[in-house]
Amino acid sequence: MNERTRGLQFLDDSSGGPCSCTALRKASRRVSQLYDAVLEPSGLRTTQRAILVHIARCGIPLAGELAAALVMNRGALTHNLKPLERNALVVVRSDPQDHRRRLIAITAKGRRKLAESEALWTRAQRRFERAFGESNSTALRGALAFISSDAFLRGFAHGSTLRRRVEHRAGGRTSLSGV
């Protein structure tokens, strides 16, 4: 085993090592790859489907509200909205009350595409629960919901230099800035 292959073996450490962030990112990428493969016949990726689901549930959100609800920065949201808009699954328009803000609406075609992807998403979800276990899956979703919550964000920042960087936004949402 040479130096290069030793390094690759270290990079392929499936235990995730001691870094929670790295372990979460690796798991997230793997699950996204698996769901994307199942969703492929619909033409939607997991992130795009999540955006459509959220818009369908909440109506016509502002871009900033949608990004915050998905725990996504605005640049990533814009990147993921472009193909949805290009394929006429969503419409992005200026807020008539403040033209600097953008409203995102799902179209009839977007609702049909979302309905078309439902059976595929259900198949991916069942496969995940079969592989990971139903009770483990439920516990994982609960833990991940807490990790993506404002309460976890405040707890993470509490008592550290990050505390000063917690921004409190309208609607009770918080985020870390400059981190």
The answer to whether position 27 is within a domain reads no
The answer to whether position 144 is within a domain reads yes
Distance CA 34, CA 107 (A): 27
Q: pTM for the full model?
A: 0.78
pLDDT of residue 150: 86
Domain count, the chain: 1
The answer to whether position 148 is within a domain reads yes
Domain of 152, in residue numbers = 134-172
The answer to whether position 113 is within a domain reads no
For 151, phi and psi rounded to 5 degrees? -65, -40
Distance CA 108, CA 148 (A): 30
For 118, phi and psi rounded to 5 degrees? -60, -50
The answer to whether position 13 is within a domain reads no
Non-local (6+) Cβ contacts of 102 within 8 A are 62, 63, 92, 93, 94, 95
**Per-residue tens of pLDDT for the chain, all 179 residues:** 566 555 555 555 555 567 999 999 999 999 999 999 999 999 999 999 999 999 999 999 999 999 999 999 999 999 999 999 999 999 999 999 999 999 999 999 999 999 999 999 999 999 999 999 999 999 999 999 999 988 888 888 875 544 444 444 444 455 555 44
